[in-house]
Chains A and B, each alone.
Chain A
Amino acid sequence: MAMHTSFLTHAKGRYLWIAVLVAILSSLAFIFDEPTEPPNGGTPLGYTLGTIGAIMILWLAYLGRRKRNFVKGWGTTVGWVSAHVYLGCALLVIATLHTGFQFGWNIHTLAYVLMVCVILSGIFGVVAYRTYPGARNELKKTKSLDDIFLQVEEVDAQLLRMASDAPEDIRNILNSAIERTVVGGGFLDQVRARDNSVVELNGRVESNKQQQRALDYLLGRARELQGDQLKLLHDIIRIFNTRKRLLSIIRDDIRMHAVTSVWLLFHIPITFALIASLIAHVFAVFVYW
């Protein structure tokens, strides 16, 4: 028995089976139902599925509240998330059957589309949750991000010390490359692992993506120098390369971290829009039908 159980296998996958059962039962009901009119939200079965679906949406959205119930709160959060993801998928079946496949350019279909968006983003979230943590751990080889930042700081200090004996242009470019290295940035930069680093070369500011520009410059200088200076430059290049590698680990890590939560930026706002359109949909049904 392993000590840790993920939300997917929580309670031996209990909610998976419940969700499958719910989906099969509602499909059977739909298949054997013989309504007087073509299947739609207004038949007795349609009303039933609609009510179940609406309640499920409210319950699914309630996770946002339950997650922050630290003091009291029924069950564990991982149990709630497990139920959320499986029953959330079952909702797709229930709601689709509820529509009776009648779509159009109206408020009702809008609610449905929003719901599908929430569900799809949720599925993306599950994939992200199950892939990125492991990948990040693999990437950093059990070190923490802070450790790697510290390592970069050490490497920087070392480079600067070595630079003090190197020709002035090399000293300048190292100084500038280190000073103007950018990691992180805005959320979008993080998600795209964008590298806004620059370096100042002969008075011009150039992009130093992946530290490549500075590295190229150093490599170019290696063809010109000789003797002790060349040896020093080789050491600098070797260490600069380590720095480049560490920075790319950091950037990848930050990217994966951002992606692990970026989908929530769709999932949650669309949930609000969904609830609003759901209210409008219900209201429209009872007032105008």
Chain B
Amino acid sequence: MGESYKIVVIGAGPGGLSAAARAAESNVSHVLLESSPKIANTIQSYQKGKHVMAEPGILPLRSPIEFEAGTREAILEAWHKGILDQSVNIQYSAEVSAITGEKGDFSITLSNGETIQGEHIILGIGMQGNPRQLGVPGENAPFVQYQLDDPDEYKDETIVVVGAGDAAIENAVALAKHNKVYIVNRRDEFARAKEGNLNLILANIDSGDVECFYGTNPSAVEMTEDGETPGIFKLSTPTGEADVPVHRIIARLGAIPPRGLVESFGIEFPNDDPNSIPALSSQYESNIPGIYIIGALGGYPLIKQAMNQGYEVVEYIEERDVRPADHDLIAAKVSKVNPALDVDDILHEMQERIPVFSDVNALQFRELMLESDVHMPKKGEVIFAKNDYTNSFYTIFSGDVDIEINESLTVASGQGNFFGEMSLLSGRRRSATVVAGDDCIVIETPRRTMNKLRASVEAVQRVLDKTFIVRTIQQKFAPNTPLVALEPVAEKTQINQYAPNEVIFSQGDEGDSLHFIRSGSVTVSIDVDGHEVVMSYVPANQSVGEMALLGNTVRSATVRAAVKTETLSIDGESFNTLMDSVDGLRESMQKMADERSRQNVSTQESTEDGDDLLGFLIGQGLGEATDVLLIDENLCVACDFCEQACAATHNGTSRLNRKAGPTYASIHIPTSCRHCEDPSCMKDCPPDAIQRGGVGGEVYIGDNCIGCGNCQQNCPYGVIQMAYRTEASDNFWRWLLFGWGEKPGSKAAAKSDGDTIKRAVKCDMCIDQNGGPACVRACPTGAAARVSPEDFVNLMS
């Protein structure tokens, strides 16, 4: 049996380091187990010299180890010094592979077979996962590495890069400048890579700078005793075995997400959603008593949060009462509700009064309140107006509000209820105006926080969906019918999810239901001589398939999800009952159906010459756009004033690339943000710096961006750049008359304001400018226009 400790900390990231240091400081017997040979593997893998930020700025740091914004190197250095000063007992290259036992008597197994005993376990292994190994004999040879810090470090070596993803390609191309580089691809093509990287690697292979082994698997790594190179890489290629003498092997095969491992310890996740987070108590304890989870793995994606939790969790284990570091922040938010009460009591009261939050655990609710705002609007104040682009979620702590759905219909809603779920779920504009009533106190929760909650607490998701369904039916089809009367129809309504391009129903099918699109969008196409031609595009908040319910039981067109789409399907029988009971509904549905057939006929006429512009636009992913820059190539004189205008109004970096991007007929889609309905860029931003809002629903990046580059990776359209924030300095008359200074809008006109980190920049739709986007305003010929998908059909006429 191995050694025994009171606290075993797993993972030497910021969370684990801080926990172990606090244990050391309080003389508690402990060990810190780190799978890699150095501390903080995630931070080690940031790019060299990266400026690491200490967000959120308002949160105080509580840890025996220092941390303030600075370069990656300085921070790692400080942490290293910190654990030496505190005499932390750390074991490197100690990868934990199993945990058994129970509180007070856990047994932790390392991948080298060793076991360690512990009373409590603090799990801080982050979300990065471990790099996938080569999986062949010799995979641990000293010249095999799984990451590349600085390609310029190596010169005149023979290097084999294994992998076919973006990381492998970027490494191979960068190394090829000074080395002989091979790339090993298991498949026959580079299917997983981004378009830009695909072109890059193909060009390099073509020019002979990189040599590629397609359809090839590694079979062994052998060390050489006295050869010219330290090793030989044995490969099995489609034409037989090949031996490559190598100085270095770099395997970029992706990472194994940590979830499987964590589940094998017995820790439960609420559902299969990859974003879901294990349920934790307010003291970070998991479903297994004695195992605590901190940092990124527990859903806290920033360094400072992880460090604070490391400290706190040791205090909890030691049964010392500490207030979480964020206590004062929460207090500042909620005490105005009732200054006489303690913060924890107020939080408790909130959960009591608001049923949607009753199934949420205390820690999650705390986190939610940390990100939410409490508002106490005066009577008559507008909380949000119809057609606003905001998408936060509101719950009513006390008092009531009036929800004005249209001129003739206003419903009241009171304590414990919620509103704003329609835009939350659909990503579309507000469908009603909400006005504060007497003594109103509401809690506003950002969309991202709610989405995280929906992913982890099923009850929240269920309640929201149920409410969404009845309210949608009321708003869309039966505005004057009370909600209770709609319950029977709502009961039978289903929520369906479709992947991009998935068929919702096909031309010729038996039609028996109507689909209301709650998020995403669909295309309607018909079969023309065996080709599917897109006739129209239907965005969220509208319905399709209504013809089937009006007696026409065979589907006259094929409807496909243009992007990831969710629909509510209402079956024919229920809907007919609804049409019988609601005055005018049948007529208005009939009118809508007629309008649609008329539109289809006119589109059909304009598409007869085989042009499928709509299909092209949707194929380029514009179905998920809310606002996209399209250039008419028949008008564009390539003066690039659009780019200059963008640079001049955005600190010297143009956020659009006019030349790049595809063209069909005369319509060109430059590389520029499309302000997606459900933006991928927003999904994984540690400080939540990407927001959507304003009058136009722009997606924009705030000043608290930490420059991690996640959004750049996540945007499927390559529109985000990492750039220094600079200030534009130009003076037209001086430039014109004396040739001083820089030409307005030129790159050089930007001057650095001393900011030393690259942060994400992209189109913000000129949110701070009067008169709309500068690119469009600056175009002298009318070639540049901003278009929303609803208008695509107009492009064709």
Q: Residues on A close to B: CB < 8 A?
A: 1-7, 10, 64-65, 67-73, 76-78, 80-81, 129, 132-134, 136-137, 142-146, 150, 153-154, 157, 257, 260-261
Contact = CB atoms under 8 A, between A and B. Distances in A.
Contact of B782 (A7, A64, A70, A157): A7
B585 interface: no
15 contacts: A1-B794, A4-B782, A6-B635, A7-B782, A67-B778, A71-B774, A76-B779, A77-B641, A78-B781, A80-B780, A133-B634, A144-B659, A145-B659, A150-B203, A261-B639
Given A4-B782, A129-B637, A70 B644 contact: yes
Contacts of B666: 134, 137
A78 B207 contact: no
Given A4-B783, A129-B781, A133-B635, 9 more contacts: A7-B781, A68-B732, A76-B779, A78-B782, A137-B633, A137-B634, A142-B665, A153-B203, A157-B207
A176 to B, nearest CB: 20
Contacts of B776: 76
Contacts of A70: 644-645, 648-649, 744-745, 774, 777-778
B329 interface: no
Contacts of A132: 637
Interface residues of B, number: 46
B432 interface: no
Nearest to B774: A70
Nearest to B744: A68
A1 B732 contact: no
Contacts of A133: 633-638, 781, 783
Nearest to B786: A3
B663 interface: yes
Contacts of A65: 732
Given A70-B648, A70-B778, A3 B659 contact: no
B785 interface: yes
A84 to B, nearest CB: 9
A73 B777 contact: yes
A181 B797 CA distance: 44
A1 B797 contact: yes
Contact of A142 (B663, B769, B780, B785): B663
A69 to B, nearest CB: 8
Given A67-B641, A68-B745, A144-B663, A2 B795 contact: yes
B318 interface: no
B388 interface: no
A146 to B, nearest CB: 7
Given A3-B794, A70-B649, A142 B664 contact: yes
Interface of B: 203, 206-207, 630, 632-639, 641, 644-645, 648-649, 659-660, 662-666, 732, 736, 744-745, 769-771, 774, 776-783, 785, 787, 791, 794-795, 797
- Where chain A touches its partner, the secondary structure class is helix
Contacts of B632: 3-4
B207, B635, B663 pick with most chain A CB within 10 angstroms: B635
Given A3-B791, A78-B781, A157-B206, A71 B665 contact: no
A10 B744 contact: no
A141 B596 CA distance: 34
Given A2-B794, A3-B794, A72 B637 contact: no
B65 to A, nearest CB: 46
B532 to A, nearest CB: 22
A3, A76, A142, A153 pick with most chain B CB within 10 angstroms: A3
A144 B657 CA distance: 13
Nearest to A264: B639
Contacts of B639: 261
B665 to A, nearest CB: 7
Given A70-B648, A144-B663, A2 B777 contact: no
B779 A77 contact: yes
A7, A68, A81, A134 pick with most chain B CB within 10 angstroms: A68
B642 to A, nearest CB: 10
A6 B666 CA distance: 14
A64, A73, A76, A77 pick with most chain B CB within 10 angstroms: A77
A154 B665 CA distance: 25
Contacts of A143: 663
Given A134-B633, A137-B633, A77 B777 contact: yes
A15 B669 CA distance: 30
B777 A76 contact: yes
A73 B469 CA distance: 47
Contacts of B744: 68, 70
B783 A72 contact: no
Nearest to B631: A4
A133 B779 CA distance: 14
Nearest to A80: B780
Nearest to B783: A4
A67 B207 CA distance: 43
A40 B778 CA distance: 40
Contacts of B630: 3-4
A153 B779 CA distance: 33
A150 B648 CA distance: 31
A3, A4, A78, A80 pick with most chain B CB within 10 angstroms: A4
Contacts of A261: 637, 639
A119 B342 CA distance: 78
A10 B785 contact: no
Given A1-B794, A71-B649, A7 B780 contact: yes
B745 A4 contact: no
Given A6-B781, A7-B782, A77-B777, A260 B638 contact: yes
A249 to B, nearest CB: 15
Contacts of A80: 780
Contacts of A145: 659
Nearest to A10: B782
Contacts of A4: 630, 632, 635, 782-783, 785
Contact of B780 (A5, A73, A78): A78
A261 B206 CA distance: 36
B183 to A, nearest CB: 18
A136 B781 CA distance: 16
Contacts of B797: 1-2
Contact of A137 (B645, B649, B663, B780): B663
A7 B795 CA distance: 18
Nearest first, the 10 A-B pairs at minimum CB distance are A4-B632, A70-B648, A142-B663, A134-B634, A137-B633, A70-B645, A78-B782, A81-B780, A6-B782, A68-B744
